[in-house]
Amino acid sequence: MISIGTLNASRPLQGDESLKEHGGVIAQGAGRIREFQERVYRFYRKNGRDLPWRRTTVPYEILVSEIMLQQTQVERVCGRYERFLVRFPDFPALAGAELRDVLHEWQGLGYNRRAKSLHATAGIVMGQYEGVLPDNEKVLASLPGIGKATAASIVAFAFNRPSVVIETNIRRVFIHCFFDDQETVSDRDIAPLVAATCDRENPRAWYYALMDLGSSLKTRIPNPNRRSTMYRRQARFEGSDRMIRGRILAFLVGEDRISVPDLVSRLESDPGRVESILKTLEKEGFMKNEKGFLTLR
């Protein structure tokens, strides 16, 4: 049984007036909000997903899940999240680890900048916040690899405090329910509705419910997110610079050092292209190039 608390549309919600500015989308105010909440929660009671990061409210564990879920499908994260936590169970363990070990555990998730940023954030939390993740949204947004969107999610899921969470599944729900006749929808259009309909007593469960409804909609209707100004087709991975970056880092994780000619030979890629990617990786702080030999920092 999924615990969702009580519905709270019977009392004023932040942003209630802004709803009336959206062409009468929720012109009935609190009553219409309650109807929407009930619809979403009704779906959640029957179809809520049991995901490992939903079984915890530990801020560190929520942070790890949110960074992993950036640009990565839930199914892929499920297979790696718990393993990562076994290896790095808390901020001291992650901050004290070598970047090589963190990247090794991250292999297969892609977008390795996230692993580096997570490692850096752990160091900042240990050094500046006595090992306690800040609960201030602006402070969270300033930490490496987090930003405004992930900070809002952390506030809701780790601290169960109201925030405006907009991610791909939530965006899909709002476009489908409230912008059916609008060809182009921006997050600026959606944000007031997200704020006004949030269950302020239990934002954690509310956003989980919205995400699960949005995930279900993806399999049942043409994707509403194609009408979002945020919509981008994912670039082909095979043969991309991103693929080459990942292979380079995999080589560096597995070996103490490797020469540039040896690396180019193993990659079987254009030397000029590899050199350009290596310069970017060095600039980002992943590796060092000392007299033609590459090592992780």
Q: Which residues are catalytic?
A: 66
Q: Can you point out the beta strands (E) in the chain?
A: 258-259, 287-290, 293-296
- Coil, strand, or helix at residue 6? coil
Q: Contact, 185 vs 229, CB < 8 A?
A: yes
Say how far apart CA 23 and CA 31 lie, in whole Å. 17
Say how far apart CA 115 and CA 49 lie, in whole Å. 26
Give bridge partners of residue 46 from the DSSP assignment: none
- Coil, strand, or helix at residue 259? strand
What are φ and ψ of residue 288, in 5° steps?
A: -120, 145
Sequence-distant (6+) residues with CB within 8 A of 66 are 150, 153, 154, 157
Q: In what order do the strands lie in the sheet with 287-290?
A: 258-259, 293-296, 287-290
Q: Contact, 252 vs 258, CB < 8 A?
A: yes
For every residue of 9-30, DSSP letters joined together read TTS--TTTGGGGGSTTTTTTTH
Say how far apart CA 192 and CA 264 lie, in whole Å. 51
If you search the block for the tokens 């990562």, which residue do you land on?
84
